[in-house]
Structure formats: structure tokens, C-alpha cells
Amino acid sequence: RACPAGGRGAMAQARVLLTEEPAPQAVPATDLPLRACEVALNTGPDCSSGPATTGFCTSKYLPPEWHQNNSGLYHKAFTGCEQAEQCRAEAKLLAEHAAATAQCAQQHSTATLGQRLKDTHFWKVELQKEIEDLDAETSLLAAQKLRLERALDATEAPYAIATDNLRCRERRQHPDLVSDEVERELLKETELVRNIQELLKRTLMQARNQMRLNRDHKEVCEKDWSDKVEAYNIDDKCGRYSNQSTNIQFHPSSVKLEESASTPETWAKFSHDNIHRAEREKLASMNLQALIDNILRDVSEDLRMQCAAVNGAFDKRCEELEDAKQKIEHHLKKILKEIGDQEANIAALKQAIKEKEAPIKVAQTRLYDRSFRPNVELCRDEAQFRLISEVEELTESIGSLKKKLLESEQCLRNLEGTRMNLEKEIAVKTNSIFIDKQKCMAHRTRYPVVFKLAGYH
């Protein structure tokens, strides 16, 4: 009966242990020590002896040890449950923290990608603006270059006209073959045209070089813009990824940073430098366009002013030639009249000399006949002296007339020479007027207008 009572107590204690958690003990649970099996000695009056007890070991645990073992198991189970619960709580907190951290990191990354998209879009817009500006400036500069080419082609006509005028005026005859104001202005015109052609050629080369620089910097900006567009599309695609995206996967090697990768500072500086260089070339292009405008305006004005100076010199020279020709023609008329008068005078002198032949014949015949007077009748009387004086007077008169006739004939020859010189001079002046007016000035009517010299046509 003692045993059942003890059994009921143990069962009650077990029910308590099964329904209530034991209080943690200060002594940690340990396994029961192993006991060595020993044969019990049958000694004493209460000990049983005989075959029934032979061979049973006495190495059994004591009840306190059994309870201690159970308590240790209970404590270990309690501690394991408590640790598991704590681990679960920590795991839940860790999972929640990891989820929150991952979500926050993802949101921050998405926001960073959004800011990066804004930065990329900003530089992309700036680059696109520079590309459009450079393209527009290149087009405007190409139009200016075309004007330069047209202006350069237009200078061929003034140069050809000036050189042709100089060659034509070389066919002037002496004494009109002079280095006059017209020739000096024509030489100035040819020198001006040559200098203008050299200036236009240098400016044209400068325009071509500037257009090449514009295109080169435009290509650099286009390459940068293209890279920005591609990077923008990539970042935009990355910004649209979410945890529910189906096209995401593991890329462990992508965490590594490329050694050649740029920094935000160098990235921004690269585009800034490209835009700065583009702005510099655009400004140079604008300045060159203004320079070309000024050059073409000055060139056209200088050529037209020189053309007006040459035309003025031609007009003045033609007026001088016309005036000289008219004066020579006036003198020629007087010479011709004088020649006619002199011819009449010579004819009169010859007639006068001829008319003196009869009187001198009469006087000489009288003297001859009177020389046959006989003896004393051959007297040197007054009649004789008068006849001798008459012959002398007639002889002297005839001599004077002949001398005057010679002088008149020489004067006539001089007049004829002067007439020939005047007629030749008139022909020379006529030829000079024909060259200057009909050849040179008529050719100069083909001189290009200001708009053509400025490269507009």
C-alpha cells in the first residue's frame, strides 16, 4: 500500500509537471551519472535470499535522481522553447527590418535613378540645343561661304575688264600713248581686285575650316547626346523594375565597379566641356559671319567706288580728247584756208613775175637797139640812164618777186606739213576716242552690280 500511495503522488506530480511549466532551477540540468553494476550482498534479517534474488543488479537510480533528470529535461525543453520563440521573434523582426531596409533601399535607389534621369535629361537637352545651334550656324556659315564664292567669281569680271582696258589703251598711237589719269586708275583697279581676291580666298579658307570645326564639335556633341539617350533609356528601364518584374535575375558580378568608370564630377565636366567648346565654336562662327558680311560689303563698295573713279577718269579723258580734236579741227580749217590763200598768192606772184617779162624785154630791147647808134650818137643821155635804171628796177622787182615766191612756196610747204600733222593728229585723237569710248567704256558697262559683288547673285 505504501507503493500505491507513492504511485499516486508520482502521478499527481507528473500531472502537475505536464500542466504547469516548472520554474527554472538554479542548478543546470545534467545527465544522471552512470552507476556501476554491483551484486548486492544478502545480509541482514530483511534481505531475501535464495534463487529468486540471484543475478539482479542494485545499480538503479534513486528517486531524487530520477526527478532531477526529469527536471533537467523539462528545463531543457523550456529553454529550447524559449530560445526558439526568441529566435522566431528575432527572425520576424529581422525579416521585417530586412524587408523595410530593402524597400527603403529600393525606393532610395529608384529616387536616385530618377534624379539621375533628371540630370541626364538636362544634359541631353543642353546637348541637343547645342547640336541644333551648331547645325543652324553651320548652315548660315555655308550660306556665307556661298556668298564668298560668288563674290570671288564676280571679281573675275572687273579684273578682266580692267586688264582688257589696259591692253586696248596700249594700241593708242603717239603722242596719245601717255600715262594719264585713266591708266593710273586702271592700275589701281587691277591691284585692288587682286588684293580683294586674295582676301576673299583667305576668308573662304577660314570659313571652310570653321565649318569643319563646327561639324567636328557637332559630331562630338551628337556622340555625347547619343550616349546620354542610351544611358537615359537604360536608367529609365532600371527605374521601372520592381519586385514583381518578370525579367529580373541574379547578376552577382555586376556589383563590381569598372576601373574605367567615370565619376559624377568627370561625367558632368565631360558634357560641360563639350558644350563649352561648342559654344566657343558657335561664337567663332557668328563672329566669322559678321566678318564676312563686313568684308563683302566693303569689297563691293570699294570696287564700285574704284569703278566710278575709273569711269570718271575716262569721261574726263574723253572730254579732253574731244576738246583737243575740236581745236585741231578748227586749226586745220584755218590752215586749209591759209593754204588756199597761199596758193592764190603764189599764183599771183608767178603772174606778177610773168607780167614783168614784157617790160624788161622792152627796156632791154631799147637798150640793145640804142647800142647800135653810130659814132657820137652813142651818147649816155638821160634816156640811156632811164632805160638802165628801168632795167635795174625791173630786175630788182623780179628778184624780189621770185624771192617772195620762194618764201611763199616754202610757207605753203610748211602749211601742207602742218595740215598733214593736224590731220594725223585728228586721226590719232579719233583713234584714242574710239578706244576709250567705244572699246573701254562700252566694255565697262558690263561691270557687275553691287549685289553681285556682295555675293547675293
Q: Is residue 250 part of a domain?
A: no
- Residue 343's Cβ-count burial label (10 Å; 0-12, 13-18, 19+) is middle
* CA atoms lying within 13 Å on the CB side of residue 404: 17
Q: Is the Cβ–Cβ distance between 440 and 314 less than 8 Å?
A: yes
Strands, E assignment, 199-274: none
In terms of Cα–Cα distance, which of 172, 185, 190 is closest to 435? 172
**Considering the domain boundaries, does residue 402 fall inside one?**
yes
Q: What pLDDT score does 2 carry?
A: 36
Residues forming a β-bridge with 57: 39
Q: φ, ψ for residue 280 (rounded to 5)?
A: -65, -45
Q: For residue 30, tell me if it sits in a domain.
A: no
CA distances from 127 to 135, 137, 195, 232, 279 (A): 12, 15, 41, 14, 11
From first to last of its 457 residues, what are the pLDDT tens digits of the chain?
A: 333 344 444 333 334 333 344 444 444 444 444 444 444 444 444 444 444 444 555 578 899 988 899 999 989 999 989 989 988 898 888 888 888 988 899 899 899 999 999 999 999 999 999 999 999 999 999 999 999 999 999 999 999 999 999 999 999 888 888 888 999 999 999 999 999 999 999 999 999 999 999 999 999 999 999 999 999 999 999 989 888 888 888 888 877 777 778 888 999 999 999 999 999 999 999 999 999 999 999 999 999 999 999 999 999 999 999 999 999 999 999 999 999 999 999 999 999 999 989 998 999 999 899 899 998 888 888 998 998 999 999 999 999 999 999 999 999 999 999 999 999 999 999 999 999 888 898 888 888 888 788 888 7
Neighbours of 126 (CB within 10 A): 19
**Total domain count, the chain:** 1
SS3 39: strand
Judge whether 353 lies within some domain: yes
At residue 347, the pLDDT reads 94
The pTM assigned to this predicted structure is 0.68
Q: Which residue has the cell 544611358?
A: 231
Question: How far apart, in Å, do the first and last CA atoms of the chain sit?
Answer: 140
- Owning domain of residue 348: 331-452
Give me the pLDDT at residue 42, please.
Answer: 46
Strand partners, 438: none
| Residue whose grid cell is 560641360 | 272
Helix 156-169 vs helix 181-240: angle between axes, to the nearest 10 degrees? 170
Q: Identify the pLDDT of residue 1.
A: 36
Nearest CA-CA partner of 203 in 284, 295, 297, 300: 295
